[in-house]
């Protein structure tokens, strides 16, 4: 899966090639209930982030274990990272160890600190408390 | 074709890693991905199981 990657700190990297398991495969396996609206992604270092279910279920969302043909480098989330190319990069949780599907919104690490619950770069959803 | 860049962004060459804290070491044989919450079929996937899924094109 090839995608550009956009960080809320205003940098974007073109054409990253991720390999792994598509979010759609995970959805087929675990069968989220109809009322599910959010996915919380957790990293083993204590990170968390909330992702709207509709974005998680996009066809390019992937649980990546390879980047550009090689195992994920440690600093990019080894061994597994959620990659949601349709959202800002803080939604792409590194060191992924848990996905929790929920009906109610619960905020993750950056969302509790003022960052947007959705985080769509095309709508510049950077923070919920301002447009800056 | 001109590449599409979202508003307020600029291109850079590579990822710039940010972390919120130190990352505990891990052995792949101990790796588990927990999938739970409001799902019909909660899962705990080992590393071996994760790698066994069909590769997306």
Please write the tens of the pLDDT for every residue from A82-115. Answer: 999 999 999 999 999 999 999 999 999 999 999 9
pLDDT value at B2 more than 90? no
Could you count the other beta carbons within 10 Å of the beta carbon of residue A9?
Answer: 12
In A, minimum Cα distance to B10 occurs at A11
Residue of A24, A30, A115 to mutate, interface with B, max B Cβ within 10 Å: A30
Nearest to A87 by CA among A110, A58, A108, A109: A58
pLDDT value at B3 more than 50? yes
Strands B32-37 and A96-102: parallel
Angle, CA A88 vertex, CA A50 and CA B20 arms, to 5°: 65
Angle, CA A56 vertex, CA A53 and CA A59 arms, to 5°: 130
Tell me which chain B residues have a C-beta less than 8 angstroms from the C-beta of A40.
37
pLDDT digits (tens, 9 = 90+) for A37-69: 999 999 999 999 999 999 999 999 999 999 999
Q: Measured between CA atoms, how close is B14 to chain A, in angstroms? A: 6
pLDDT value at A132 more than 50? no
Question: Which residues lie below 8 Å from residue A3, measured CB to CB, with a gap of 6+?
Answer: A15, A16, A18, A60, A83, A85
**Domains, chain A, ranges and CATH?**
2-120 (3.90.420.10)
- 24-83 in A: which are within 8 Å (CB) of B? 25-26, 29-33, 35-36, 40, 43-47, 62-63, 65, 74-76, 79-80
Q: Measured between CA atoms, how close is A3 to chain B, in angstroms? A: 11
Tell me which chain B residues have a C-beta less than 8 angstroms from the C-beta of A32.
37-40
Whether residue B48 lies within 8 A of chain A, CB to CB, comes out as no
CB contact under 8 A, A32 and B36: no
pLDDT band at B1; cut points 50, 70, 90: very low
Q: What is the ipTM of this complex?
A: 0.91
Question: CA A9, CA A15: separation in Å to the nearest integer?
Answer: 18
Buried b (16+ CB within 10 A) or exposed e, B12-47: eeebeeeeeeebeeeeeeebebebbbbbeeeeebeb
Nearest to A51 by CA among A100, A16, A8, A97: A100
Tell me which chain A residues have a C-beta less than 8 angstroms from the C-beta of B54.
25
């Amino acid at each position: 899966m090839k995608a550009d990657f956009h960080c809320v700190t205003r940098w974007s990297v073109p054409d990253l090639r991720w390999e792994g398991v598509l979010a759609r495969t995970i959805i087929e396996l675990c069968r989220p209930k109809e009322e599910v609206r959010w996915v919380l992604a957790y990293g083993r270092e204590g990170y968390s982030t909330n992702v709207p279910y509709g974005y998680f279920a996009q066809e390019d969302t992937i649980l990546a274990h390879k980047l550009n043909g090689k195992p994920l480098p440690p600093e990019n989330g080894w061994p597994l990272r959620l990659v949601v190319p349709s959202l800002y990069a803080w939604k792409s949780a590194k060191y992924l160890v848990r996905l929790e599907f929920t009906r109610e919104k619960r905020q993750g690490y950056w969302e509790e600190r003022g960052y947007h619950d959705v985080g769509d770069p095309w709508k510049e959803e950077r923070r919920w408390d301002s447009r800056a | 074709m001109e590449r599409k860049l979202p508003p307020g962004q600029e291109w850079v060459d590579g990822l710039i890693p940010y972390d919120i804290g130190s990352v505990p070491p891990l052995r792949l044989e101990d790796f588990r991905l927990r999938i739970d919450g409001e799902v019909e079929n909660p899962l705990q996937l080992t590393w071996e199981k994760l790698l066994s899924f069909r590769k997306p094109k």
